[in-house]
Every structure is written in structure tokens, then in C-alpha cells.
């Protein structure tokens, strides 16, 4: 964050307050006492709250057939709720209540189930993909709703990521986009990121060797609206068409998190999620 936007203040606090503040300081995410106070005030005042999340829910889910012949993949149940509802509830937990659902295949069933979202305490806006637009193309359809920084989710992942911390990390960097990164035992099915500090340099699609990175794209992004300028028309992929350009310009960062994360793209992964997902805590 630019130091020119800061102003030095002197405050007096009760000793028990300062003791609690000092317990927050870890030297990494919370650098010092001043940083801790700033984070607490930012959270209390909600001055930079991100208001909007775009959830990609338009894919055909071909790897999850036969489940997806009659049911859109985001509606597949996990712990008694549709998969995409867990993402909506994560957003609501962090007071992000303007939800854009990008739907395509059997999208009418998603809209019929969730309606305007009021029963979940959110407002849902739908954009419809007449043809599959990939992971980036829907941004062009959603452009008129994206007037400020926003979150974006792949609709087939489950995570309990601290969205507030992701947002604060993004704001502290010179980033146009921040990718949430999680560590997996076998990254060969995902591809990994190469980092310099927190900045993403490149992506390795087929990592080899025991020293290869195990950090992968977790399918949760914090994006500046300027990212829309990088999205080609028609079908486009964030992973192929957008993120590499941002990495070349040094404007793409990675946020590490160690919480729950499940990919539900295959029957085996879905079975694991059903057994182990603990919900949005």
C-alpha cells in the first residue's frame, strides 16, 4: 500500500487491548502492532469491502456423467446442499452478498432452485452463456455488473478460505489479480505455479521431479476490474489467455492458504469431498 495514503496517529489504549493486539503479530501476515491495529480498524469500518462475487456455473460437467445428464454440475449435492450453495454461503459469511451466477448448461434448473437468492440472504444476478465461454469469457457478459474489485470462483471447488484475508493481501500488493493457492500431494493433474516471493512468474502444466512445486491454482480469484481489458471476446480461459499476460507484466500474485479445499471435477474427487468436507466454518 502506498505510504503517501497514510497518516501518522498517536493513540492511547488499555493494556488488555494492547496485549490482545500484540498476540495478533506474527511477523508475516501481521507485521507489527501498527499493522494489527490497521487491520482491526479496516475490518470494523468495512471501508474497502468487496461487494461482488462472480461464480462460474456454466460448464457441462462431462467428467461427472452420468450425474450431469439431468443435473447441472453446480447442483450436485454435498452434505445435503447443492455444491454452489457452499460457495454462496462462504461469500455471505464474509458479507459479500451481490452474487453473479454465470450459467449455461441446464442453467434454468439453477435459477429455479436459487431464485433471487433472498432466502439465503444474498442477491443473485444471472448471466446466461448461450455457448460455452470457458473460465474467462463470462467476464465479458458480467462487465456491466463489475464496477469495482470483485471475487471470482470456479463453481466446482469447495474451500473455507478466509476471503477477508485474501482481499487484504490483494490490496497490499501491486496486483491486478490474485490467485488463491493451495498445496496438494500430487499436482500432476492440475499444473503448478512458479513464484518469486508472492508474485507469480509462470505456470507449469506438467511438473516433474521431487523438487517440483506443489502449489496449485485453487480456483478462487481476487480481481481488479482492469482485468476485463485482458479478456478476449468469445470463449477464453483465465489460465491460458489472461493470467499469463498478467504474470508477464508482474501484476499477478499468489495467496497461500492452508484450509479445506476440494476439487469436485471427477467422481473420485467428489467422493472424497462428500466424506471429508466440513462445511463453511
Grid coordinates standing for 135?
A: 473460465
CA pair distance 115, 119, nearest whole angstrom: 9
Strand ranges (E), 104-187 = 123-128, 150-154, 157-159, 177-183
What are the residue numbers of the active site? 206
Per the rule left: phi > 0, alpha: psi between -120 and 50, beta: everything else, 234 is left
State how far Cα 267 lies from the chain centre.
23
CB 158 within 8 A of CB 277: yes
Instruction: List Cα–Cα distances, 199 to 67, 131, 228, in angstroms.
Output: 39, 34, 20
The β-bridge partners of 202 are 194
CA distance 246 to 258: 25
Distant-in-sequence, close-in-space partners of 80: CB < 8 Å, separation ≥ 6: none
DSSP secondary structure string for all residues of 41-64: HHHHHTTT---EEEEEE----GGG
Distance of CA 121 to the CA centre of its chain: 20
Instruction: Mention every residue, 6+ apart, whose C-beta is less than 8 A from residue 104.
Output: 57, 58, 59, 60, 128, 129, 130, 131, 132, 133
Closest to 91 (Cα-Cα) out of 47, 58, 122: 122
Amino acid at each position: 500500500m502506498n505510504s503517501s495514503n497514510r497518516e501518522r496517529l498517536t493513540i492511547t489504549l488499555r493494556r488488555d487491548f494492547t496485549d490482545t493486539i500484540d498476540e495478533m503479530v506474527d511477523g508475516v501476515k501481521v507485521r507489527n502492532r501498527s499493522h494489527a491495529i490497521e487491520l482491526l480498524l479496516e475490518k470494523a469500518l468495512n471501508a474497502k469491502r468487496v461487494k461482488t462475487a462472480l461464480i462460474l456455473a456454466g460448464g457441462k460437467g462431462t467428467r461427472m456423467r452420468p450425474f450431469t445428464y439431468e443435473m447441472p454440475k453446480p447442483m450436485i449435492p454435498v452434505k445435503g446442499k447443492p455444491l454452489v450453495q457452499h460457495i454462496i454461503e462462504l461469500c455471505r459469511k464474509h458479507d459479500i452478498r451481490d452474487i453473479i451466477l454465470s450459467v449455461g448448461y441446464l442453467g434454468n434448473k439453477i435459477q429455479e432452485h436459487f431464485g433471487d437468492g433472498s432466502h439465503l440472504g444474498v442477491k443473485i444476478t444471472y448471466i446466461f452463456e448461450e455457448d460455452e465461454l470457458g473460465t474467462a469469457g463470462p467476464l465479458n457478459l458480467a462487465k456491466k455488473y463489475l464496477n469495482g474489485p470483485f471475487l471470482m470462483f470456479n463453481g466446482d471447488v469447495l474451500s473455507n478460505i478466509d476471503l477477508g484475508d485474501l482481499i487484504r493481501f490483494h490490496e497490499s500488493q501491486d496486483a491486478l489479480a490474485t490467485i488463491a493457492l493451495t498445496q496438494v500431494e500430487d499436482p500432476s493433474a492440475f499444473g503448478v505455479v512458479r513464484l518469486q516471493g508472492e508474485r507469480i512468474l509462470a505456470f507449469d502444466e506438467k511438473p516433474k521431479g521431487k523438487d517440483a512445486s506443489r502449489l496449485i491454482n485453487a480456483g478462487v480469484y481476487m480481481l481488479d476490474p482492469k482485468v476485463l481489458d485482458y479478456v478476449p471476446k468469445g470463449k477464453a480461459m483465465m489460465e491460458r489467455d489472461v493470467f499469463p499476460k498478467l504474470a508477464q507484466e508482474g501484476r499477478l500474485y499468489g495467496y497461500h492458504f492452508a484450509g479445506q479445499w476440494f476439487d469436485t471435477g471427477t467422481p473420485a474427487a467428489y467422493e472424497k469431498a462428500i466424506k471429508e468436507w466440513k462445511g463453511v466454518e
